Amino acid sequence: MNDSTLSDTELAAVLDAFSEPAAVLSADYLVIAANQAYRDHYLQSDSVIGQHCYQVSHGYQRPCDQEGESCPLQRCRQTGLRQRDLHLHNTRHGQEHVDVELVPIPVGVKEPLYFLEVMHFVKVANAKPEGEGLVGSSKVFNHMVSLIQRAAPSMISVLLLGESGTGKELVAKALHSASKRSKQPFVTVECSGLSESLFESEMFGHEKGAFTGAINRKEGLVTAARGGTLFLDEVGDIPLSLQVKLLRLIETGTYRSVGGVELKHADFRLICATHRDLTESVKEGRFRQDLYYRISPFPITLPSLSERAEDIPLLVEILLKRLTDEADIPHTEAVKVSADAMAYLKSYSYPGNIRELRNILERALLLADYQIITPEHLPENIRLPQQVSTFLNTNAGSIDGLIPLAELESVYLTQVKQNTSLKNNELASKLGVSERTLYRKLQGLP
Ligand SMILES: Nc1ncnc2c1ncn2[C@@H]1O[C@H](COP(=O)(O)OP(=O)(O)OP(=O)(O)O)[C@@H](O)[C@H]1O
């Protein structure tokens, strides 16, 4: 080694300048040097040197891209530019979300020989059933977390899109807590159902005597959010007449309280959320296009729970923990879910998403006296899909071939009639038809 070359120990000492795990990798994925944080974080301890990075962080035998993940090192090698990717790593603390940053050495040269790898800890999400915030580990969830990580530190306005109950408010809070404004206020404005006068006085505040009933001066939510984040929930529900007022606030960054003359300067980071398709609302003339462009420079679509069904067991565990903590019931052991109850929970489609799962578990906890949740503690409608699939498999053969609906109905009704002791009026009500309709259908049975 000549004088101008760093020894491995010196290289490790340089890497120790990073507080987060950092390593130097070769183009063929070998760890050449690593700082103490890297050695402490992963399972291999001192033996990380000379191992493949994918082995150390994932336990894989092949590079990440061959395991269905996107590999920042590969892209870094091709482009010669810095790359980032969100991965789920196996660490001493279990599975963790890590924002992996790869920098080619030197920068800007294609096919570089070495790379600096820095692991940024992701605080906004958890892959274990712990903590207060977002929990999940599915691919679609991780993709959403990577977008949160990118947007959070900047001032860009974020538009959260997703069905009701998918966690938009929780994501808005995560964006705020990972931003430079995290120590400042996070203020939510519930936009649906706000009348014109209420919107203005809620948002901008009012002066004493500004209108009948304004006995005192009141500060608005825009003022309350000063220095922090303003979260407009259900922004798609704001009537057109109020959209122009919101647009003016965003465009000029100024506002006046109701009855006031002084022009005030707003200072907030804007996050909006809606369950509506705003592009459709724009086409239909129900949402202003100029406002849409103002609020949507960084859209994040939240996956529905059925798109991330593999997260259900993890979510069940964290929601049960949170619910039992909230209920403050002394219990010696964690509540358990029987295997058959979990099978029902995993196969249901959840139109109300995580909120519906939470409600189902809250009810089940009470019925199970905070002990073991079994199928009888779950609502009937969530047990239906499995009954239907069992029924299809046992009565109608393979579902690969299409079954005429009339035939399906007739087989179903025959079986129901044979197995129920309900009177016709009760059965009709359970099946959601009138007694006359049920009678007619039963007459037609073979
Ligand atoms: N990833 C997650 N991990 C744990 N809990 C979650 C997650 N996402 C959502 N929740 C929980 O699900 C419930 C619904 O979430 P939230 O209120 O944020 O949904 P939303 O999309 O804002 O709903 P709406 O559109 O109806 O206002 C809350 O109890 C929230 O804590």
Annotate 263-312 with DSSP letters as a single string.
-EE---EEEEEESS-HHHHHHTTSS-HHHHHHH-SEEEEPPPGGGGGGGH
Q: Which of 27-31, 157-161, 223-227, 324-328 has the lowest mean pLDDT?
A: 324-328
Write phi, then psi, for 265 (nearest 5 degrees): -100, 125
Supply angle C-alpha 266, 272, 274, rounded to 5.
150
Which residue has the least CA distance to atom 26 on ligand 1?
A: 164
181-190, 257-266, 337-346, 418-427: which has the minimum mean pLDDT?
Answer: 418-427
By most ligand atoms within 8 Å of CB, the mutation choice from 137, 163, 169 for ligand 1 is 169
Ligand 1: residue of 354, 358, 360, 362 to mutate (most ligand atoms within 8 A of CB) is 354
CA 286 to chain centre: 27
The answer to whether 220 touches 257, Cβ cutoff 8 Å, is yes
Ligand 1, residues at Cβ distance < 6 Å: 134-136, 162, 164-170, 233, 275, 315, 318, 354-355, 358
Q: Both ends of the chain: CA-CA distance in Å? A: 91
184 Cα–ligand 1 center, Å:
22
Estimate the crossing angle of helix 339-347 against helix 380-395, to 10 degrees.
90
Residue position matching structure tokens 């922004």: 235
- Closest approach atom of ligand 1 to CA 171: 18
CATH of 8-121, one of 3.10.20.30, 3.30.450.20, 3.40.190.10, 3.90.1720.10: 3.30.450.20
Contact between residue 276 and residue 321 where contact means Cβ atoms under 8 Å apart: no
Task: State the residue for tokens 């505040």.
Answer: 205
Give the class (CATH, top level) of 305-383.
Answer: mainly alpha
The amino acid occupying position 237 is: D
Residue 300 bridge partners (DSSP):
160
Antiparallel, parallel or unpaired: β 269-274 and 94-105: unpaired
Q: What is the reported pLDDT for 276?
A: 95
**In this structure, what token pair is assigned to residue 441?**
């259908």
Residue 163: which of 347, 302, 360 has the closest Cα? 302
Ligand 1: which residue has its CA nearest to atom 30?
A: 167
In which element (H, E) is residue 103 found? strand 94-105
Given pLDDT bands bounded at 50, 70 and 90, which one contains residue 213?
A: confident
| Atom of ligand 1 minimally distant from the CA of 136 | 1
Contact between residue 293 and residue 247 where contact means Cβ atoms under 8 Å apart: no
Residue 302 Cα to ligand 1 midpoint, Å, equals 10
Characterize the bridge pairing of strands 269-274 and 158-161: parallel
ipTM score of the complex?
A: 0.96
| Beta partners for residue 219, in sequence order | 205
Token pair in block for residue 333: 């052991």
Domain 134-301 has CATH 1.10.1370.30: no
pLDDT at 399 over 80: no
Residue closest by Cα to atom 8 of ligand 1: 167
Residue 165 Cα to ligand 1 midpoint, Å, equals: 5
Three-state secondary structure call for residue 138: coil
Least confident of 81-95, 289-303, 338-352, 396-410: 396-410
Burial 144-169 (b: 16+ CB within 10 A, else e): bbbbbbebbeeeebbbbbbbebbbbe
Give the per-residue pLDDT at 414: 80
pLDDT category at 440 given cuts 50, 70, 90 is: confident
CA of 156 to the centre of ligand 1 (A): 23
pLDDT of residue 215: 81
DSSP β-bridge partners for residue 87: 98
Q: How far is the CA of 360 from the centre of ligand 1 (A)?
A: 14
Q: What is the spatial distance between Cα 172 and Cα 178, in angstroms, rounded to a whole number?
A: 10
The pairing of strands 218-219 and 269-274 is: unpaired
Q: Tokens 């390593």 belong to which residue?
A: 23
Q: pLDDT tens digits for 37-64?
A: 998 888 765 578 888 999 888 888 888 8
Name the DSSP class of 224.
H
In this structure, the residue with its CA closest to atom 28 of ligand 1 is: 355
Q: Is the pLDDT of residue 176 over 50?
A: yes
pTM score? 0.83
Task: Write down how long the chain is.
Answer: 446
The Å distance, Cα 379 to ligand 1 centre, comes to 21
